[in-house]
Homo-oligomer: A and B are copies of this chain.
Amino acid sequence: MLSLKYIAINSFNENVVYLHKDCDAYKVDDTNSIVKMEIHGGASPLFAFLEIVDDENIVAADELGLNKSAFEMLNLPEGAKVTVSLANPPQSIAYIKRKMEGNILSSSEYSGIIKDIATKRYSNMDITSFLVATGSFITPQEVSSMTEALVDGNTLTWDNESIVVDHHCLGGVPGNKTDIIITAIVAAYGLPIPKTSARSLTSCAGVADTFSVLANVNFDDIKLKQLIKENRGAIVDYTSLPTTTTCKIISSVERSLGIIKHEHIISSILAIKLAAGVTHLVIDIPVGPTARIKSTKEALRLRKIIEHVSDLLLIETDVVITDGSEPIGNGVGAVLEARDIMKILRNKEDAPQDLREKSLFLAGRVLEFDPKLRGGQGYRVAKEILTSGRALEALNRIIYAQGKTSQAQLGHLTRDIVANKSGVIEAIDNYRINEIGVLAGAAQHHGAGIDLLKKVGDRVERGDVLYRIHSLNSNDFAFANSAVNNNNGYEISSRR
């Protein structure tokens, strides 16, 4: 029997158990092996990785320490008596071996794996092996099984709503925050749109990052229902909904790995939409040589998977393949993107027209889910709602209802990147611009990012500013600068 102690360490989604090297109750073997333990004493056994401590101030020989997540899961007070033993590997690890050998897994195998992830029987390493094994080869039927397992019947229900809409983008193009504009237009029109959004995974900013510059994005399902009832639209960080915990655990591992397979993105998006009770969905797949999806062929393949899975899961999905050849809008990074969005909603003359047009086009597709709207009228209606100022009013109501945030400051460390010759902008490398923005700190700090002053087709004179980098600290700024010096992501031709 050991005495439970809270160790105030956040190891993110890994449970850790700390034992003293001379632990009274368990002979720890100080070799170089990673050991998973089972802690007994709570309502159900808790799984955690063993770390060995040689400092009685952290944990003593008669104590068992648990880090933040493990302590919260065990849900016992400090000083409670607990026991510890070696954990058996979860049974579902055998399914991963089967997947590695090239087999198609059954729906019950996916549900076994996802259940073990949800109950923390999997370490981050185990989750990695699941993601890599299923990332090499997975059938549409398997994507569907995985998606259903992620939701596990746990979905929001919307009384008195026959249609609940949403829009999501597969990502990979900097800027491109159509979602917030679409939500404003659709809410103003009157269709319910509980827009679930995410923080950045590999980009400079996720929709949740950008909207959090304007309003709170963290609230639970009860509050979400109330917001939709009042305003028809809301933009929520999906991780704050209780139905999406397993998606959150998996995406945290994906973010750390930097390896995200298209099929996993699809599964995760559809699982989150299912969990939010969405019935009608527009999915945007931007295609471009430097975007995440590089060819129309690949986009078509993904469209078919999305259609296959949506049909099985009974979501009506309209998949739209769009131009992802360069960044959309001028701002890249949360604060700059929020600025672009507000310019568009305010019908400002200097608002980025590409982002405006794309938002109207996609909002039109969402609006056409309404059976009362005549086919082909979506775009026109969306445009009328935007130009009349009704979209701005709707967004202001949403911001007010969700709780306005104090505006994050734009990074004060700036550098102007200039054209090294006169000519026409031939290409902007999405991947490179995103990389420079991430180095500048955008994924961590909302005020960091890149302001694109020239886009493809613009004529420039030598010395004209192409874009401006914003950073909040000198470390990030130095990283971004050294990356730019190597390759600034712009291609200028000499034609005039």
Separation of A66 and B8 alpha carbons in the complex (Å): 16
What chain B residues lie within 8 Å of A44 (beta carbons)? none
Identify the closest chain B residue to A137 (Cβ): B136
Separation of A12 and B159 alpha carbons in the complex (Å): 52
How far does the Cβ of A71 sit from chain B's closest Cβ, in whole Å? 12
Q: Which of A32-40, A164-172, A364-372, A454-462 contacts B (4 or more CB under 8 A)?
A: A32-40
Inter-chain contact A257/B52, CB cutoff 8 Å: no
Instruction: Indicate whether A32 sits within 8 Å of B52 (C-beta atoms), given known contacts A89-B258, A133-B132, A259-B129.
Output: no
> Is A248 close to B, CB under 8 A?
yes
> Is A444 close to B, CB under 8 A?
yes
Separation of A259 and B35 alpha carbons in the complex (Å): 14
User: Which residues in window 431-481 of A have CB below 8 A to B?
Assistant: 439, 444-445, 473, 475-476, 479
Partner of A53, one of B9, B34, B135, B256: B9
> Is A11 close to B, CB under 8 A?
yes
Inter-chain contact B126/A257, CB cutoff 8 Å: yes
Inter-chain contact A29/B444, CB cutoff 8 Å: yes
Inter-chain contact B132/A129, CB cutoff 8 Å: yes
> Is A128 close to B, CB under 8 A?
yes
> Is A255 close to B, CB under 8 A?
yes
Identify the closest chain B residue to A478 (Cβ): B85
Instruction: Indicate whether A36 sits within 8 Å of B256 (C-beta atoms), given known contacts A54-B8, A58-B58.
Output: yes
Inter-chain contact B51/A136, CB cutoff 8 Å: no
Instruction: Indicate whether A444 sits within 8 Å of B27 (C-beta atoms), given known contacts A8-B55, A51-B9.
Output: yes
> Is A79 close to B, CB under 8 A?
no
Separation of A33 and B125 alpha carbons in the complex (Å): 15
Instruction: Indicate whether A100 sits within 8 Å of B34 (C-beta atoms), given known contacts A51-B10, A444-B27.
Output: no
> Is A123 close to B, CB under 8 A?
yes
> Is A47 close to B, CB under 8 A?
no
A residues apposed to B, CB below 8 Å: 7-13, 18, 21, 27, 29-36, 51-55, 57-58, 67-68, 83, 85-86, 88-89, 93, 96-97, 100-102, 123-126, 128-129, 131-133, 135-137, 199, 239, 248, 252-253, 255-259, 261, 439, 444-445, 473, 475-476, 479
